Chain A
């Protein structure tokens, strides 16, 4: 079954420390993965799409098909990075269904 797993509910780091938010997926096809960010229960905003390989707000994510992972990383966390982060998997062969992990709350302390 298709699934996205974010093992950490809460990740707390100090400002300037490196951050890694974990995401693992289960999907038999070729995965298409996204990271979304949500500040204070506002709308979700697209952070990264694995195909584009961009770096947004200093965040990067690499798709590792061998480990079925798509971890989100940032070398130096900022206080404004505090938010909920969701990993999502697009199921092309299921009519455009997008499934989300449970989310990780990132808290960056001063």
Chain B
């Protein structure tokens, strides 16, 4: 089944403890992206990538890092999480021709205490 897989689905962590949220797609998509969703603020893009080793900042990149060493994987790294990064995170991917738009993962609900 063609899909975008995020792990973990739920995570509670403490301030300052480094964490990684993994994202993997099995559709050979070129584009990948991370979003956070907060009540009243909608979806805001954190980072995006148009191919291996090509990444760029979105609208809210502060406090996050990404890497794209392989086409299928696009992990989101929080080096020192803070409570304001408590949010619902979505990873998404798309082929270069966007014929099916962006496919989204199921989301990761992160709580930083």
A interface residues (Cβ-Cβ under 8 A, vs B): 32, 34, 36, 41-46, 49, 86, 88, 90, 94-103
Complex alpha-carbon distance, A34 and B98, angstroms: 10
Q: With CB as the reference atom, state the residue of chain B lying closest to A44.
A: B104
Closest A residue to B37 by beta carbon equals A41
- B81 at the A interface (CB under 8 A): no
Partner of A96, one of B30, B35, B42: B30
Cα–Cα distance between A46 and B92 once the two chains are bound (Å)? 11
C-alpha spacing A103/B43, complex, angstroms: 8
Q: How many residues of B contact A (CB 8 A)?
A: 30
Secondary structure at chain B's binding surface: helix, strand, loop or mixed?
A: strand
Knowing that A44-B104, A49-B101 are A-B contacts, what are 6 other residue pairs whose CB atoms are under 8 Å apart, sorted by A's residue number?
Answer: A41-B107, A43-B105, A46-B103, A96-B31, A99-B45, A102-B41
* A44 B90 Cβ-Cβ under 8 A: yes
B33 within 8 A of A: yes
For the complex of A and B, 4 pairs with smallest distance between CB atoms: A96-B31, A46-B101, A102-B42, A95-B50
**Which residues of B have CB within 8 Å of A90?**
98
Residues B104 and A45 in contact, CB atoms below 8 Å apart: yes
Which of A44, A49, A100, A101: most chain B CB closer than 10 A? A44
* B88 shortest CB reach to chain A, Å: 7
What residues on B are CB-neighbors of A46 within 8 Å?
100-103
Determine if B42 and A101 form an interchain contact, defined as CB atoms under 8 angstroms apart: yes
Q: Is the CB of B101 within 8 A of A43?
A: no
In the complex, what distance in Å separates the CA atom of A99 from the CA atom of B88? 17
